[in-house]
Structure formats: structure tokens, C-alpha cells
A and B are shown apart, each in its own frame.
Chain A
């Protein structure tokens, strides 16, 4: 077992050669290193932070924002070994097959491959995030003791299931750094360096290959890494920053010949109290409001639009959870009593529940990161975010809830109140998922994507990007499971590029 290397002890001005440089020790970087363990590929993983949170390192993330209110950039992610898995919630669900498809009504949609391609890697990714067996919507996960899901008439919404990364003996979802630190130390072909900030991707003069990496520490030490291949895996925001800031050979930044790096940023909007669900009989299985255990998995139900409904009604993905019991106002009581009586249903025990959701955004090139004139402690330009959310996205989600209400009425099980309508109402309850996606999007056409179908930066033979920044569309599922699967796919590809 070898200890991690402290970059602050690396001789200044030295050059380290390696086969594969992995920049970033979050879920993507760690998954990649684990997947390439015991291969002939000599790996060097460069992590900016240490093994625990350090405020000075964390402050390197700070930036500025315009547009729709968004989370502070330094608060939305974590910069030490394990990355943002050190504070993730563990919510997991595979992307839907339609998430990968080209949808004529949705500009910029379409992945270079189908969900079937990702299926090859999802089981191993599921094991890495420790979310138990892959059940999700494939078979009944709930127990008879907890009771059946809410009966819904046939229609556009169904009950789907999250699983959670917490099947080991801990209440916390898998923090990749602490969980896999020992494994990483045992990988003979890996050197893992802490406190190593990559401040520049230096291209060869012809801009067709990466020549070297500039590395700096907050203690002032600087040195060089010369890799044969490099994978940038520093997160959905920082991936774009590193490419944009490396602008000595390509003036717009590495891989940014078509002005795409930093554009198409997305997160999952999480508006609170989006709707109120009234259940006529007042009964609700516990897995709607809280995680439950079954079949060696932790799971929770959510309402999701069906694939057919998304296609027919041009609806984006969403996952709606039941939050808590809420009182009805006088109009609500009147609507409940009138509707239940007219349907011939006993509503004497009725209860109302607030709904919340995570929803998909449509791709928007103007929702983007650019470099600001401010610089961080290492001299790197800070980022400026322009955040947007379209009225169409909000309306699409609202249509999904309306459909849920229709299905409840047909089934005579309940009804729906749509709590938000005007844009200001939505924004007043808006939270975000901290799921940073899209800034180095994947597309086979260099004019539409930063990386190709193998996650290689278009036009640069030995530079790859890993993580959810390559997602060209985003789905509504939480990204960690899917980005780990994507990284495992990248690992398979990298095994083929080394002689």
C-alpha cells in the first residue's frame, strides 16, 4: 500500500511523466482510477484538495452570477478528495431511454448512443455507489406490509422509484474519497497526489494534442506533469473553467473552437410545494414520504411522466415526491367535499399532501459560464454564470401534474391542486439540485459538442472529459449513478487506446 503524495512536497519546477493523468478526485476521477486498476496504464490522479474540507481550497470555487438566482458557486460543490460525493444525498435512478433520444421538438437533444449502451455499465456503477441491487422500476420493490402505491388510472404519470446510496453500515451516502481511499492506495499503477491544482492544460503548438499540465499548490509550489493522455474530471462547472482558462494556444480555450465550452449549463430545478395532492381515503404508503428498506435497498417513490406521455405531449422529465401533510384552505375544503360527493366517494378521512419535484431543463446555450476578470489565489480566472430557466420548462412540469390530477380523478382516489402558475411564484420557491451538467456537451459533430461519443475533446487526440458536464441533455434522474456509468464506459475506451 502506498500513501497519497502531497503535491506541496514535489520539487518546484520538476516534471512528472505518466501514461494517464486524471484531473480531479471526485466520483468520476475515482471511478476511473478504480476501473483502470491493475492495468499496464500508469496513472497519476491530481486532486486539488486534501482528504478533508479546507476553506482556502474551497474558496478557489468562488464566482459570480447573473440572471435567475442560483446557488453560490463555492457552496454548491466540494473541493477535496471525494468531491461533491462528500455532501450528496444519495438519490439515484438511471436516466430514461428517451433521455438519450433525438426529440425533434427539443432543440439540441440527442446523445450519440442509446440507453442500452449505458446499461452495460449501470450495474457496476450501482455497486460503486452502494445503492443495493438494481431494482428501480423493474419489479415490485415495495413490501405488502407497506402497502401498494396510490392507484392511478392509465395515463401519463406512473409511480417510479429512487434508490439510495447508503447500503453499507452508515446513514451517509457513499463519500467516494473516504470510502475508496484505502482501495486507491492499494492500486499499484496509481499515484494519487493531493493539494495538486491543475492551472493549465498546455497544448502542443498545432493545438491537436495536449502536451503538459501546469500544476500549482496554494503553498506556491509549481511543477509540470507530462501525460500521454489526460482525463479532466473536476466537476460539471470546473471542467469548463479549466478548458476556458487554458487559452494560450487556442484563444477561446481548449476545445472551444466552436464556442461551446461553458454553454448549455444545466441543473435540476427543485421547486418546493409545486402542487397539493389530496388522497380521498387519507391513506399513503410510507415510501412516498420517507426512504424505506426492502430487498437490501433503500427506496422512495416518486411520480414520473411515462415515456409515451413525454413524447406525445412534448414533456420533459420530472420526479415528483410527496413531502408532508398540509391543511386545505376553505376553497380547498369545498372543492374536496364537492368532488368526492359527486364521485360518490367517502372523503371523511381525506388528507392533503404537499408535492415537490426535481425537473429537467431544456438545453439553452445562453445558460452559460464565462471567465470573469477576477482571479483566484492561484491566478486562475474566476467564473461568471448567467442562469436561465424557461417558462416552457415550468409549464411542461405543470402539465405533468395536471395529468396526475386527471388520473387520480379517473381512479376516484384523489385530486390535485396546482400550487404554482406565474413565473414569479415558481422562482419564489425555487431550489436547485447541485447537479452540474452540460458545459462540455457530447456530440459527434464538433459544431454541436465539445467532446465526441468517447468523451474525447474534439480535435485533440489525447484529452478526455469525464463527468456530467458531457451530458447533452439532462433527464430528471440524479446524475451520480449515470456519470459513474459513463466513466466506466470511458475506462473501457481508454484501455483500447493504450498499446
Chain B
């Protein structure tokens, strides 16, 4: 009985290890992209690089003169040691919002996404 039941168990365990390896690799790949970006210190605050790049492309379409280096410097100053959520709330409170393909976004978030799309 035990020999019959061991085979599917092993197969399942191997499958799980494989899924974990692939998923972990994707995760590491995401981190890799972030860490090797010139703006990794800023972009690490974003949840998903692919989503950020997609939004960022929409933001860049409204900013033909976007200066990534200057924007990154400004954002480092603006964010400092504060939480990103607090910075975004402060943006919206101060009416610093940017419209990207119709989406009304806090300015800091929009600029971070634009950096992600540029990096």
C-alpha cells in the first residue's frame, strides 16, 4: 500500500518544487530589474514593475519633456524617509495630481511610474 501511494506523493512534491522555483525566479527577476535600474532606490517602493511601466508609459505620453534624472532627484527629496502612502496622500491633498490616459493619479506615483517606464 505504502509503495503505491508514495509515487503520486513524490510527483506532487516535485511539481510543487518546480512551481516554487519558477515563481521564485520570476520574483528574483523582478527584483533584479529593480535593483539594476538607475532608480532602484525609488522603484522598489512600487509593487509590480510591469504595472508601473504600463502606467508610466501613459504618464510619459503627457510629458514629452520628461527629464528622468532631474525627476529622480526631485522625488528622492520629496519622499525622503516618509512612507510612499503618506507622500501620495499629501500630493492629493495639495491637488498635485496628474492625469494619464484619463486616470487621475497622485503626482509622485505618476512620476515614479514614468521612471519605471524609462528605466
Binds A, one of B7-15, B69-77, B105-113: B105-113
Q: Is A402 an interface residue (CB 8 A)?
A: yes
Q: Is A379 an interface residue (CB 8 A)?
A: no
| Pick from B51, B84, B99: contact of A334, CB under 8 Å | B51
| Pick from A337, A344, A406, A416: contact of B85, CB under 8 Å | A344
Residue of A nearest to B45 (CB): A342
Say yes or no: B104 contacts A418, CB within 8 Å. yes
Give the residues from 279 to 337 in chain A that come closer than 8 angstroms, CB to CB, to chain B. Answer: 330-335, 337
Say yes or no: A339 contacts B89, CB within 8 Å. no
Interface size of B in residues (CB-CB distance below 8 Å)? 30
Say yes or no: A331 contacts B58, CB within 8 Å. yes
Q: Is B46 an interface residue (CB 8 A)?
A: yes
Say yes or no: A334 contacts B95, CB within 8 Å. no
Residue of B nearest to A405 (CB): B104
Residue of B nearest to A418 (CB): B102
Residue of B nearest to A409 (CB): B92
Report the separation of the CA atoms of residues A331 and B103 in the bound assembly, to the nearest whole angstrom: 9
Give the residues from 60 to 119 in chain B that come closer than 8 angstroms, CB to CB, to chain A. Answer: 83-85, 88-89, 92-93, 95, 97, 99-106, 109, 112-113
**For A332, what are the chain B residues with a Cβ–Cβ distance below 8 Å?**
103
Say yes or no: B97 contacts A409, CB within 8 Å. yes
Q: Which of A335, A337, A343, A418 has the most CB of B within 10 A?
A: A335
Say yes or no: B54 contacts A342, CB within 8 Å. no
Report the separation of the CA atoms of residues A339 and B89 in the bound assembly, to the nearest whole angstrom: 11
Name the prevailing secondary structure of the A interface residues.
Answer: helix
Say yes or no: B89 contacts A412, CB within 8 Å. yes
Say yes or no: B55 contacts A335, CB within 8 Å. yes
Q: Is A218 an interface residue (CB 8 A)?
A: no
Say yes or no: B97 contacts A402, CB within 8 Å. yes
Give the residues from 48 to 81 in chain A that come closer than 8 angstroms, CB to CB, to chain B. Answer: none
Say yes or no: B95 contacts A406, CB within 8 Å. yes
**For A451, what are the chain B residues with a Cβ–Cβ distance below 8 Å?**
none
**For A405, what are the chain B residues with a Cβ–Cβ distance below 8 Å?**
97, 104
Given A335-B55, A342-B88, decide whether A417 and B109 contact each other with a Cβ distance below 8 A: no
Say yes or no: A338 contacts B52, CB within 8 Å. yes
| Pick from A341, A407, A412, A421: contact of B102, CB under 8 Å | A421
Say yes or no: B105 contacts A335, CB within 8 Å. yes
**For A153, what are the chain B residues with a Cβ–Cβ distance below 8 Å?**
92-93
**For A344, what are the chain B residues with a Cβ–Cβ distance below 8 Å?**
83, 85
Report the separation of the CA atoms of residues A343 and B45 in the bound assembly, to the nearest whole angstrom: 11
**For A330, what are the chain B residues with a Cβ–Cβ distance below 8 Å?**
54
Give the residues from 406 to 425 in chain A that come closer than 8 angstroms, CB to CB, to chain B. Answer: 406-407, 409-410, 412, 415-419, 421
Say yes or no: B58 contacts A409, CB within 8 Å. no
**For B113, what are the chain A residues with a Cβ–Cβ distance below 8 Å?**
338
**For B85, what are the chain A residues with a Cβ–Cβ distance below 8 Å?**
342-344, 412
Say yes or no: A343 contacts B88, CB within 8 Å. yes
Give the residues from 318 to 374 in chain A that come closer than 8 angstroms, CB to CB, to chain B. Answer: 330-335, 337-339, 341-344
**For B95, what are the chain A residues with a Cβ–Cβ distance below 8 Å?**
406
Given A342-B88, A415-B103, A416-B104, decide whether A406 and B46 contact each other with a Cβ distance below 8 A: no
Report the separation of the CA atoms of residues A409 and B113 in the bound assembly, to the nearest whole angstrom: 17
**For B50, what are the chain A residues with a Cβ–Cβ distance below 8 Å?**
334
Say yes or no: A409 contacts B55, CB within 8 Å. no
Give the residues from 399 to 454 in chain A that come closer than 8 angstroms, CB to CB, to chain B. Answer: 402, 405-407, 409-410, 412, 415-419, 421
Say yes or no: B92 contacts A337, CB within 8 Å. no
Say yes or no: A338 contacts B47, CB within 8 Å. yes
Say yes or no: B55 contacts A402, CB within 8 Å. no
**For B46, what are the chain A residues with a Cβ–Cβ distance below 8 Å?**
338, 341-342
**Interface residues as binary, B34-56 with A (CB distance below 8 Å gives 1, 0 otherwise):** 00000000000111101110110
Report the separation of the CA atoms of residues A419 and B58 in the bound assembly, to the nearest whole angstrom: 14
**Interface residues as binary, A380-407 with B (CB distance below 8 Å gives 1, 0 otherwise):** 0000000000000000000000100111
B46 to chain A, nearest CB (A): 6
A86 to chain B, nearest CB (A): 39
**For B103, what are the chain A residues with a Cβ–Cβ distance below 8 Å?**
331-332, 335, 415-418
**For A421, what are the chain B residues with a Cβ–Cβ distance below 8 Å?**
102
Report the separation of the CA atoms of residues A292 and B64 in the bound assembly, to the nearest whole angstrom: 48
Report the separation of the CA atoms of residues A332 and B101 in the bound assembly, to the nearest whole angstrom: 9
Say yes or no: A331 contacts B55, CB within 8 Å. yes
Say yes or no: A402 contacts B51, CB within 8 Å. no
Report the separation of the CA atoms of residues A419 and B99 in the bound assembly, to the nearest whole angstrom: 11
B118 to chain A, nearest CB (A): 16
**For A331, what are the chain B residues with a Cβ–Cβ distance below 8 Å?**
54-55, 58, 101, 103
Say yes or no: A334 contacts B47, CB within 8 Å. no
A346 to chain B, nearest CB (A): 12
B55 to chain A, nearest CB (A): 5
**For A337, what are the chain B residues with a Cβ–Cβ distance below 8 Å?**
47-48, 51
Residue of B nearest to A419 (CB): B102
Q: Which of B55, B89, B92, B105 has the most CB of A within 10 A?
A: B92
**For B58, what are the chain A residues with a Cβ–Cβ distance below 8 Å?**
331, 335
B82 to chain A, nearest CB (A): 13
Report the separation of the CA atoms of residues A33 and B110 in the bound assembly, to the nearest whole angstrom: 61
Report the separation of the CA atoms of residues A196 and B6 in the bound assembly, to the nearest whole angstrom: 96
Report the separation of the CA atoms of residues A316 and B24 in the bound assembly, to the nearest whole angstrom: 54
B92 to chain A, nearest CB (A): 4
A-B contacts, 18 listed (Cβ < 8 Å) = A331-B58, A331-B103, A334-B51, A335-B51, A335-B55, A337-B48, A338-B51, A338-B113, A339-B106, A342-B84, A342-B85, A342-B112, A344-B83, A344-B85, A402-B99, A406-B104, A410-B93, A419-B102
A335-B100, A412-B85 known; 10 other A-B pairs, CB under 8 Å? A331-B101, A331-B103, A334-B48, A334-B51, A339-B88, A402-B97, A405-B104, A406-B104, A417-B104, A418-B102
